[in-house]
Amino acid sequence: MRALVYRGPYRVEVREKDMPRIEHHNDAVVKVEMGAICGSDLHLYHGMMPDTRVGTTFGHEFIGTVHEVGPSVRNLKVGDRVMVPFNVFCGTCFFCARGLYSNCHNVNPNATAVGGMYGYSHTTGGYDGGQAEYVRVPFADAGPSLIPDWISDETAVLLTDALPTGYFGAQLADIVEGDTVVVLGAGPVGLFAARSAWLMGAGRVIVVDHLEHRLEKARTFAFAETYNFAEHDDIVVLLKRVTDHLGADRVIDAVGAEADGNLLMHVTSAKLKLQGGSPVALNWAIDAVRKGGTVSVVGAYGPMFSAVKFGDAMNKGLTLRMNQCPVKRQWPRLLEHLRAGYFDPTEIVTHRIPLEHLPEGYHIMSAKLDGCIKPLVTVGD
Amino acid sequence: MPYPADKPSRAPSSEELRARIPGWGADLDPADRPSVPRERFDPRATGAWWDLPEQQPETYPRERSIEHARLTPVFGTTYPPRGVSGAIRRLAFRRYSEARAAHWLLLLAADRVDVVESSVRELTSGRVSNPVATGLRSEVTHGGPDPRTTARRVDHNHRWMDPIVTAGPLVAAGVGAVLVGRRLLRRP
Ligand SMILES: [Zn+2]
Ligand SMILES: [Zn+2]
């Protein structure tokens, strides 16, 4: 089969690779129809994620058709069209039994601090991802769901990570009616978080980024006030000024470890890998939120420590809430909202890239060329 | 002016927002959101029907965190550790918990060694992949007006480092191969 393969930092290529096999009785093999590149795939592409082995196939956002099922699979059959949450999870361990699917204890031997993910290095279990023609899906009875026939394939792909993660970020922020909500980062997750903040009753939604085309989308898709931090000397002071010097009630960090802030942070984190990621966005969140407020973190960080301004968080009496999104928990409500027609998530899709052209896709995404927000990946014909 | 008790109202009223933004307030009740309460015991919520999952067969000594009591019932089997990078990875797993910086720094070091080793392996097997950053074609096909020069962005200041990160390990591999080759040739 054809698959995207990691060769080293900034080097990926599409080549022939062995077909995935059923390795556990509850595995399925899914023939991928559509996938996506995620902002967090850039941590892998840049070589930032520890234990990213040469040969690994990336991709944790994908939908497809069940191609083969293991002997104990009951809920799926060959030919079913499924959307697969980016989390690999068992459904019945201590954590899954309590709804923390992203924190499953039964799927990742390599680390206890992080659950299982498709195509996200051995630190999340060593599973190959869906930027390929076929992919192994463990615990097929727990993870995937049939794609409802009234949603488009593109919507289904966005339901595997970006949309539920943004929505989850807004839930973590504990928004109550009338709150001022700041979202750092206008990538797909930030845009969906901003849009979701209104569902939860926000009074103001403010989005911060440095890419003008993304801020434009934040205004049109998420009805947000926007600020370009590259045009301001000190974004924290600006955010204080527009919130009457109290700070925002809630701040959502939808950036994570790839934050571009200053050169020192970039060198120590992205280049020298001395930190779990550049904490620029998280520190802005801590500074810009009001005392007693909530910081919600859905941006991805690596397993190493980061230089976070913890004293400020303590002195301000903040609530810090964060997790990888337990995707399957969000689906029923999100499908209700989509059915009600509140918004169309595919409005943020900017590129549709064939599997064979994925190396260009990664470069576009990494160098932020061509007004890129969300690139989808088409597989097969 | 001193700071007052009320938040100065800059936000539109809820009625205005409800009229303007589709779905405004659909999840207004903080207690009725999908991930609230955070932990809710329901082991049958996902479609999983087993009490304890079966064990996937271990076909090679699978490396695992020493913070785990046992090998997890499922795991990825792609790219077992091999070569020098594999030895470094095994050491990182055998010796250090996730709490230790050494664990992660060794794994990152192994990643760099892995790139060099696989480049050497490819050179010796005659199957050479694209040696430079892939996807550069998109600079032409998707570059448009170059956003690096037309827009204010903060990621310009470190772009000069990217080629070094990309090509560094390959240059190191080349130099290493030359040194090893010279030593072999000098042997009687
Ligand atoms: Zn993702
Ligand atoms: Zn579990």
pLDDT band at B116 (very low <50, low <70, confident <90, very high): very high
Average pLDDT over residues A109-120: 96
Q: Is B96 on the interface with A (CB under 8 A)?
A: no
Rounded Cα distance between B173 and B175, Å, is 6
In a domain, residue B51? The reply is no
Q: What is the pLDDT of residue B95?
A: 95
Sketch out chain A's domains with CATH numbers: 2-161+326-378 (3.90.180.10), 167-322 (3.40.50.720)
Q: Which of the residue ranges A177-181, A189-193, B36-40, B164-168 would you say has the lowest mean pLDDT? A: B164-168
In a domain, residue B126? The reply is yes
Tell me if A312 sits within 8 A of A287, measured CB to CB: yes
Q: What is the pLDDT of residue B121?
A: 87
Q: Which of the residue ranges A318-327, B49-58, B69-78, B142-151 would you say has the lowest mean pLDDT? A: B142-151
Residues 6+ apart with CB under 8 A from A292: A316, A317, A318
Q: Which of the residue ranges A95-99, A338-342, B134-138 would you say has the lowest mean pLDDT? A: B134-138
- State yes or no: pLDDT of A299 exceeds 90: no
pLDDT band at B158 (very low <50, low <70, confident <90, very high): low
Residues of A in contact with B68 (CB under 8 A): 109, 112
- State yes or no: pLDDT of B180 exceeds 80: no
Residues 6+ apart with CB under 8 A from A336: none
Interface test with B, best of A16, A48, A96, A122 (most B CBs within 10 A): A122
Q: Are B63 and A106 inside 8 Å of each other by CB?
A: no
- Best mean pLDDT range from A367-376, B1-10, B22-31, B164-173: B22-31
pLDDT band at A307 (very low <50, low <70, confident <90, very high): confident
Average pLDDT over residues B106-111: 95
Q: Are B135 and A304 inside 8 Å of each other by CB?
A: no
Tell me if A261 sits within 8 A of A222, measured CB to CB: no
Q: Which of the residue ranges A126-130, A274-278, B41-45, B138-142 would you say has the lowest mean pLDDT? A: A274-278
Q: Is B127 on the interface with A (CB under 8 A)?
A: no
> What is the residue range of B132's domain?
79-139
pLDDT by residue (tens digit) across A255-286? 876 655 445 555 545 555 555 556 888 999 99
- State yes or no: pLDDT of A304 exceeds 90: no
CA distance A339 to chain B (A): 11
Residues in chain B: 188
Ligand 2 centroid to residue A90 C-alpha, Å:
4
Residues 6+ apart with CB under 8 A from B174: none
Q: What is the pLDDT of residue B106?
A: 95
Q: What is the pLDDT of residue A244?
A: 93
Interface test with A, best of B10, B35, B164 (most A CBs within 10 A): B35
Q: What is the pLDDT of residue A361?
A: 94
In a domain, residue B132? The reply is yes
Q: What is the pLDDT of residue B153?
A: 60
pLDDT band at A300 (very low <50, low <70, confident <90, very high): confident
Q: What is the pLDDT of residue B119?
A: 86
pTM value is 0.91
Ligand 2 centroid to residue A89 C-alpha, Å:
5
Q: What is the pLDDT of residue B8?
A: 82
Dihedral (CA of B160, B164, B165, B166) sign: positive
In a domain, residue B135? The reply is yes
Q: Is B169 on the interface with A (CB under 8 A)?
A: yes
Residues of A in contact with B63 (CB under 8 A): 109-110
Q: Which of the residue ranges A10-19, A90-99, A138-147, A314-323 would you say has the lowest mean pLDDT? A: A10-19
- State yes or no: pLDDT of A293 exceeds 90: yes
Q: Is B66 on the interface with A (CB under 8 A)?
A: no
Q: Are A126 and B153 inside 8 Å of each other by CB?
A: no
Q: Which residue in A46, A342, A370 is closest to B142 by CB distance?
A: A370
Q: What is the pLDDT of residue B149?
A: 55
Number of domains in chain B: 1
Please state, rounded to an integer, the average pLDDT across all residues of chain A. 93
pLDDT by residue (tens digit) across A171-195? 999 999 999 999 999 999 999 999 9
Interface test with B, best of A6, A73, A90 (most B CBs within 10 A): A90
pLDDT band at B76 (very low <50, low <70, confident <90, very high): very high
DSSP string, chain B: ----SSPP--SPPHHHHHHHSTTTTTT--TTSSTT-SS----TTSSS---SSPPPPP--S-----TTSSS--SS---SS---HHHHHHHHHHHHH--TTSHHHHHHHHHHHHHHHHHHHHHHHHHT-PPP-S-TTTTHHHHS--S-HHHHS--SSGGGGGGHHHHHHHHHHHHHHHHHHHHHHHHH--
Q: Is A354 on the interface with B (CB under 8 A)?
A: no
In a domain, residue B169? The reply is no
pLDDT by residue (tens digit) across A223-248? 999 999 989 989 999 999 999 999 99
Give φ, ψ of B139 to 5 degrees. Answer: -60, -35
Residues in chain A: 381
Average pLDDT over residues A18-24: 97
Residues of A in contact with B119 (CB under 8 A): 8
In a domain, residue B95? The reply is yes
pLDDT band at B120 (very low <50, low <70, confident <90, very high): confident
Q: Which of the residue ranges A24-38, A114-128, A354-368, B76-90 would you say has the lowest mean pLDDT? A: A354-368
Percent of chain B whose predicted confidence (pLDDT) is above 70: 75
Q: What are B178's two structure tokens? A: 């030359």
Q: Which of the residue ranges A19-28, A142-151, A154-163, B151-160 would you say has the lowest mean pLDDT? A: B151-160
Q: What is the pLDDT of residue A213?
A: 93
Q: Name the burial class of residue A63, with classes exposed (0-12), middle (13-18) and buried (19+) by CB atoms within 10 angstroms of its CB.
A: buried
Q: Name the burial class of residue B17, with classes exposed (0-12), middle (13-18) and buried (19+) by CB atoms within 10 angstroms of its CB.
A: buried
pLDDT band at A290 (very low <50, low <70, confident <90, very high): very high
Residues 6+ apart with CB under 8 A from A27: A69, A70, A73, A136, A137, A138, A139, A140, B74
Please state, rounded to an integer, the average pLDDT across all residues of chain B. 84
In a domain, residue B176? The reply is no
pLDDT band at A215 (very low <50, low <70, confident <90, very high): very high
In a domain, residue B144? The reply is no
- State yes or no: pLDDT of B19 exceeds 70: yes
